[in-house]
Amino acid sequence: MGVSVLHPFWVLFLLCNPFVLLVSGLSSEGNVLLSFKSSIREDPEGSLSNWNASDPDPCSWNGITCKDGGVVSLSIPKKRLAGFLPSALGSLPSLRHVNLRNNRIFGRIPAGLFAAGGLQSLVLYGNSLYGSLPPEIGNLSYLQILDLSQNYLNGSIPESLIQCKRLKTLVLSHNNLTNSLPIGFGSSLVALEILDLSYNRFSGSIPSDIGNLSSLQGTVDLSHNLFSGLIPPSLGKLPEKVYIDLTYNNLSGPIPQNGALENRGPTAFIGNPGLCGPPLKNPCSSEVPSSNPFLPANFSPSGLVANNKTSGSGNSKGLSKNAVVAIVVSDVVGIGLIALVFFYCYWKATSFREKEESGNSKKGLKCRNDCICFRKDESETLSDNVEQCDLVPLDRHVSFDLDELLKASAFVLGKSGIGIVYKVVLEDGLTLAVRRLGEGGLQRFKEFQTEVEAIGKVRHPNIVTLRAYYWSVDEKLLVYDYIPNGSLSAAIHGKAGMMAFAPPLWDVRLKIMKGIAKGLAFLHEFSPKKYVHGDLKPNNVLLGLNMEPYISDFGLGRLANIAGGSPFLQSDRMSAEKTQTQQSDVSVSPFVSKGSCYQAPEALKTLKPSQKWDVYSYGVIMLEMISGRSPAVLLETLEMNLVRWVQFCIEEKKPLSDLLDPFLARELDREDEIIAALKIALTCVQANPERRPSMRNVMETLDRLTS
């Protein structure tokens, strides 16, 4: 019998780990797992504390799952493990699942890991892995889930990846991967259901066979890369329910109008200056319209001249004298008939108005300022200079009218340059929030009506619902659902004069972050007009009974501008019986509040808000919820805004406890989630708007943080 010789690696391993030499009963798989333990330099939560060499097998160890005596799963997520991945893990013959997400694993992904040919899921996102993805990954013919996002990987996707034909989830976002996607990407990975390649440096053209990925669901995210060339028409072959995000690449040419690409809003294509055609405003060169919109694009003046020369009797000297006289006479007769019709209609309208006013005076009915009462379906035929004598409902469940609203108890919630907000309690107990935009101003009713009814169509669990409105010279009222738990600002910092104050725990803060992200993503991509809020801040986020967040005041700046309300008013139609602490700071127009601590740096250069403004504002709100510090107060005391202060703490390598809200100090067991949220916030507040993620991307990333 020959003498077996130990591999030098194992000799070194045994010498460096003498406690293993004491074990004779531990299985070979247990020894492999101990090599993983020895590669971990920090285990602050003691996740591997019961990995004992004295055990006969590892099946009772934390994070280990066995089947038929073999190790099938290694799952230790979010435990702040710091170390590297040993190649020896690939020698576990039954290994099916590896989940080490949101730890501090660093170094390269070892090629030896892919010797575990039965591996079905490899989830390593949220670590510090670097280097390229080994080509040996093609050995994993059973692989279904590969999530390596939020690391520092670079290089190309190996061509061997297309051998993983069972792959359902491929998430490689937020890395530094480069070059083109492998040839055959779309033809081979037909089982893919989730694809996210965003925030890398992929280049080249989008594969023309990508339309073969017919099983895709949710968002196909190719945004924030360097993809160039034309958008392949095959993308339209994807299921129509799939949202395709191509923002911020170098794509050019016309946008195909077929299938999943048809009727998409411009938000899916922004950041590609070379793209043209619908839904973007810049037409392609072949789509330049005629200078006269009533003439066809191929209209030829020379053709008209030729037709004129060949038509008629051939007389080139022009019209005869008799023809000119006939034309003049017919014009005079026509003008006379039009005048008769006009005077007849005027006489009928005057008679009708006198009769109506006479009838109304007998009945004692009168609308002040000669306002015109009308139903919603009649308003489209009226001019802008009109008034309404009743409330216009935007929801079929609205059962109250203007008289009930004006007779109800009203409590002032807040005041600002735009107007006053009231809490109104009707006789039947229904509670509403009513915003008064003010008196006077331009009478642009139709414009106001169009805008307010579009806002009224927005329905989302994280957006305050507009239920009704009223317009007249003296009053412009907006009626909303009342949200009972005040503003997010008050929840984080308390209210003036508050004796007892208990800021929300991390679970609640994370819930609020997710809700705001969902509401903003809806406004940006799914609402009827794809809104930009433009003035998002904690005072504009209200909290419901269960601390669920509601975004308020979107579209308000536009409505206030149309209404032209006076900022400071002395008279109140709705008498205030009691002044309460402000529930929501009535936001000023985004075109006025350029100095806000929550607005993006580019707001100083342009008056037109963008979705990236909202992303920046959201990032500041996240930092405020994590740090517990008010941006305005911080700016007054340190002359440093919140974003710069957080960046300073990170640059100076200050401990996390210095950055956190002191009320979260007892929740350091959630440090992994807090750090992940902090990373998302810092991505949102990047100075370059093109490097900020979309709110859809933020929403989906936050959803992966489980509280």
**Residue 176: what residue type?**
N
Q: Does an H or E element contain 349, and which?
A: helix 321-363
Burial class (CB in 10 A: 0-12, 13-18, 19+), 361: exposed
Closest CA to 536 of 701, 688, 695, 676: 695
Specify whether the CB–CB gap between 222 and 243 falls below 8 A.
no
Specify whether the CB–CB gap between 352 and 437 falls below 8 A.
no
Q: Using the CB atoms, write b or e for 464-488: b if 16+ within 10 Å.
A: bbbbbbbbbeebbbbbbbbbebbbb
Tokens at residue 50, please? 């019961």
Residue 370 annotated in active site:
no
Q: Which residues contact 485 (CB under 8 A, 6 or more apart)?
A: 491, 542, 543, 544, 545, 547
Can you tell me the distance from the alpha carbon of 389 to that of 372, in angstroms, rounded to the nearest whole number?
Answer: 7
CA 133 vs. chain centroid, Å, equals 31
**Distance spanning both ends of the chain, measured CA to CA:** 58
Tokens at residue 676, please? 């992940």
Specify whether the CB–CB gap between 624 and 630 falls below 8 A.
yes
The residue assigned the tokens 């991967």 is 177
CA distance to 194, 220, 249, 426, 626, per residue, from 268 (Å): 17, 11, 11, 44, 30
DSSP letter assigned to residue 663: G
Specify whether the CB–CB gap between 108 and 153 falls below 8 A.
no
Can you tell me the distance from the alpha carbon of 142 to that of 149, in angstroms, rounded to the nearest whole number?
Answer: 20
- With H, G, I as helix, E, B as strand and everything else as coil, classify residue 234: helix
CA distance to 121, 168, 197, 434, per residue, from 98 (Å): 6, 16, 21, 54
Bridge partner residues of 178 (DSSP): 201
Can you tell me the distance from the alpha carbon of 393 to that of 345, in angstroms, rounded to the nearest whole number?
Answer: 33
Can you give 129-164 as a three-state secondary structure string? Answer: EEECCCHHHHHCCCCCEEECCCCEEEECCCHHHHHC
**42 C-beta neighbours (distance < 10 Å), count:** 11
Q: Using the CB atoms, write b or e for 499-514: b if 16+ within 10 Å.
A: eeeebbbbebbbbbbb
CA distance to 219, 401, 437, 569, per residue, from 573 (Å): 49, 16, 12, 11
CA distance to 599, 617, 644, 650, per residue, from 641 (Å): 11, 13, 5, 15
CA distance to 518, 545, 582, per residue, from 524 (Å): 10, 26, 28
Specify whether the CB–CB gap between 81 and 42 falls below 8 A.
yes
Phi and psi for 131 in degrees, rounded to 5? 85, -175
**Residue among 535, 553, 614, 672 flagged as catalytic:** 535
Active site residues: 535
